[in-house]
Amino acid sequence: MSQPGCIFLTVPVFSPLCNLGFALRREVFIIEQNVPEELEHDTDDMTATHVVGIMDGAVVAVARILFKEQHAKIGRVAVAASHRGLRLGAQLIDYAVEVAHQHGETRCYLESQADKIGFYARLGFVAFGDEFMDAGIPHLKMKNY
């Protein structure tokens, strides 16, 4: 069930809504989590499908999808601190998986921060492999297939 008033959309890279999504990523990853700025944006942003969640006229959730040969990779998932606890993250992932399905991809993969494993597990993702560090944060690979 969607949070009342929240709309999820795919948006073109560098469109006004995508740029607001980039600003949210900056707030969450660079400011809150101290990820180095040079690691937050990469060349994958140019080819990714960008997803935003809009509520009360503001971008409050963001993710990107990269279509790889073997699966769709969901990443850069963030929800504004002011809107956490409203199930927007779960709705965002559900929407991203739906977008992947619309592109003919049923297999989704992501790299979860270790403290978020339970969140993704509740959405049908299973962790595999060894824990690794990314931007100084422990991560695990997860997939829904």
At 65-102, the pLDDT tens digits run 999 999 999 999 999 999 999 999 999 999 999 999 99
Extract the tokens encoding 120: 């993704």
Please tell me the CATH code under which domain 6-109 is placed: 3.40.630.30
| Cα–Cα distances in angstroms (integers) from residue 22 to residues 27, 43, 119, in the given order | 9, 13, 23
**Could you tell me the pTM of the whole model?**
0.94
Give SS3 for 57.
coil
CA distance 54 to 128: 32
At 42-56, the pLDDT tens digits run 999 999 999 999 999
| Cα–Cα distances in angstroms (integers) from residue 129 to residues 78, 126, 132, 141, 143, in the given order | 23, 10, 9, 7, 11
**Domain boundary assignment for the chain:** 6-109
* pLDDT for res 5: 84
Mean pLDDT value across the chain: 96
